[in-house]
Structure 1
Amino acid sequence: MKKHDAKKIDIEASSGNVFADLGLPNAEELKIKSGLTIEITKAIRKLGLTQTEAAKRMGLTQPKVSALLNGDFANFSERKLMDCLNRLGYNIEIRVRPTKEPVGHLLLAHA
């Protein structure tokens, strides 16, 4: 049996925000928008909607729904994404509470 020497790979722990880890501007906004987009995708699948049906329900065009389902949320505001979830039958709760850290952060909690 041959032994193979594995190459050493440096691993860096994530901060919890891949967009910040990549050094992208507006990393917190991107994290929230991507999380909302994931929830919209899951809701559409759970409801068994076609893109056309989802578009009608969310007040969007089918091409915009297609873009969302492909992870393209750049042209959507956080508020619009939350509105889409509401129109799909989901409540959104926003809680504000103090933190021990000097600067707080945004967190998208999944039910």
Structure 2
Amino acid sequence: MARYSEITEEGSTNVYADLGYGDAAEMQPKSQRAGEIARAIKARRLTQDGAAALLGIDQSKVSRITRGQFRGVSEAKLLELVAKLGHEVTIVVGPVRRRAGKNELQFA
């Protein structure tokens, strides 16, 4: 019987950077917002058509966003959609304690 050793590699906190995407810094926060949009739609038991009507966008765009296909959708637009789904959006700007700043959104 062949034996295989387990190979693991610790990744960063950004899966897009780990996968080599050039725009990884943009993708990570947009992914979080798209995930929250999908969760909020599901929690409210909205159909994609119902969500599209509430959000003021096409059903096809709702489908793409909830499947993680958010390229071409600005971060500002994603934040607007999160707010339309009943979440308070607060942006805090403060001093950086590390070398690079971070973009973080917390969902309650």
Q: Same fold (TM over 0.5)?
A: yes
How high is the sequence identity, in percent, across the aligned residues? Answer: 37
Q: Residue 50 of structure 1 aligns with which residue?
A: 47
2:61 counterpart of 1:64: yes
CA displacement 1:68-91 (0-9 Å, x = unmatched): 121111121000011111111111
CA displacement 1:24-73 (0-9 Å, x = unmatched): 11111100111000000000001111111100111101111111121111
Quote the Cα distance in structure 1 between the aligned partners of 2:72 and 2:96: 31
Question: Among 22, 26, 29, which residue is 2:23 paired with?
Answer: 26
Amino acid at match of 2:99: P
Query: RMSD of the alignment, in Å?
Result: 1.5
How many correspondences in the alignment? 108
1:6 CA drift (Å):
4.1
Structure 1 residues without counterparts, runs of 5 or longer: none
Quote the Cα distance in structure 1 between the aligned partners of 2:3 and 2:98: 40
Any runs of at least 4 consecutive aligned residues in structure 1 with deviations exceeding 4 A, and if so which?
none
1:96 CA drift (Å):
2.4
Instruction: Give TM-score, length-normalised by structure 2.
Output: 0.90
Quote the Cα distance in structure 1 between the aligned partners of 2:96 and 2:42: 36
Which secondary structure does the structure 2 equivalent of 1:10 belong to? coil
Structure 2 residues without counterparts, runs of 5 or longer: none
Quote the Cα distance in structure 1 between the aligned partners of 2:34 and 2:56: 15
